[in-house]
């Protein structure tokens, strides 16, 4: 890919939901998450000349957003921020991050090749989803697992986008609590 393969005019439609989901899962504040996504788009525009095409556009934007999240926590000097920084900059690796999503997709990851562990984690996630209120479980499954667009979910369930994000945030919070008790 060449530099001109970036299509910033499509970023909001193509990546805003994905970036917001990523940010809200790490920030837990919708307004800050929205701000970080906007800052990501601005930083992407400013650094478009540095885009080498080695990664997909979305991957490149996620890398920018990761740095925005880390910077946010550095500024707030919170415990979560310190943990986030440690996860991203471990002394053992020069890799950009040790995020769970990257490990699952990494062919050299220990998690990916452990079928039993993946099956147990999948069962734990399904069990935790089953404990959610019905509408939260439905919205979370549609958005996060099935990848249905925000607009389609809102139209189908007759809810507004803000309500959708609140339900997803609550579902994620409940799922993390459940997984911390039953899996981690």
User: Could you give the domains of the chain?
Assistant: 1-109 (1.10.1740), 114-184 (1.10.10.10)
Half-sphere exposure of 71 (CA within 13 A, CB side): 12
Report the C-alpha dihedral over residues 146, 150, 153, 156, rounded to 10 degrees. -150
How much is the pLDDT for 97?
42
CA 12 – CA 14 distance, rounded (Å): 6
Q: Is the pTM of this model over 0.75?
A: no
Point out the least confidently predicted range of 2-6, 95-99, 119-123.
95-99
Mean pLDDT of 99-112: 40
Q: Which residue has the higher pLDDT, 77 or 2?
A: 77
Phi and psi at residue 86, to the nearest 5°: -60, -40
CA 137 – CA 102 distance, rounded (Å): 24
How much is the pLDDT for 139?
92
Q: pLDDT tens, 1-38?
A: 344 478 889 899 999 998 998 888 888 788 999 999 99
Q: pLDDT tens, 123-173?
A: 888 889 999 999 999 998 888 877 888 898 999 999 998 899 999 889 988
Percent helix, strand, coil in the chain, to 5, is 75, 0, 25
**Residue 80 pLDDT class (50, 70, 90 cuts):** very low
Q: Coil, strand or helix: which one is 61?
A: helix
The single-letter DSSP state of residue 145 is I
Residue 73 · residue 80 · CB < 8 Å: yes
């Amino acid at each position: 890919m060449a530099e001109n393969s970036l299509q910033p005019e499509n970023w909001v439609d193509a990546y805003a939901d994905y970036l917001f989901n990523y940010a809200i899962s790490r920030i837990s504040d919708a307004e800050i998450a929205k701000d970080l996504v906007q800052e990501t788009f601005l930083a992407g525009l400013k650094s478009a000349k540095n885009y080498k095409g080695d990664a997909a556009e979305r991957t490149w934007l996620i890398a920018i957003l990761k740095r925005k999240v880390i910077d946010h926590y550095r500024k707030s000097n919170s415990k979560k921020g310190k943990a986030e920084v440690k996860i991203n900059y471990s002394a053992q690796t020069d890799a950009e991050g040790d995020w769970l999503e990257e490990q699952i997709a990494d062919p050299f990851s220990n998690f990916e090749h452990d079928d039993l562990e993946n099956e147990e984690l999948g069962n734990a996630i399904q069990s935790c989803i089953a404990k959610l209120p019905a509408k939260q479980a439905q919205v979370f499954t549609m958005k996060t697992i099935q990848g249905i667009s925000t607009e389609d979910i809102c139209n189908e369930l007759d809810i507004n986008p803000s309500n959708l994000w609140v339900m997803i945030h609550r579902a994620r919070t409940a799922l993390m609590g459940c997984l911390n008790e039953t899996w981690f």
